[in-house]
Amino acid sequence: MNVTQTDNEVSRLRWQCRRGMLELDALLGDFVEQHYMQLDEHEKEVFKEVLSFPDQLLFDYFFGNGKSIDKDVNNVIERIRYAVTPEA
């Protein structure tokens, strides 16, 4: 993948991280800017799948009791949370 394709991909994802809830904007938006490129190819695919989930489901995964049955999804969710959470 050349540089332009990568830029386009990140731009597209950046817009898909614009959500209906501030909390998700902050998690997904900041993650895609700063950490997405460090994911391996499989994780990138899972991240894109995560972006297709409804906002309320994502909110439950991040802040409620919800958990996906797919462990790859849970890993990416935890990775996003870990990346965005500041050190105490």
Q: Which residues bind another protein (CB under 8 A)?
A: 7-8, 11-12, 14-16, 18-27, 29, 54-56, 62-65, 81, 84-88
**Beta carbon nearer to another protein, 2 or 40:** 2
Shortest CB 10 distance to another protein, Å = 9
- The residue (of 42 and 54) whose beta carbon lies closer to another protein is 54
Can you spell out the DSSP letters for 38-83?
A: GS-HHHHHHHHHHHTS-HHHHHHHHHSS---S-HHHHHHHHHHHHH
Nearer to another protein, 46 or 80 (CB): 80
Burial 75-86 (b: 16+ CB within 10 A, else e): ebbebbeeebee
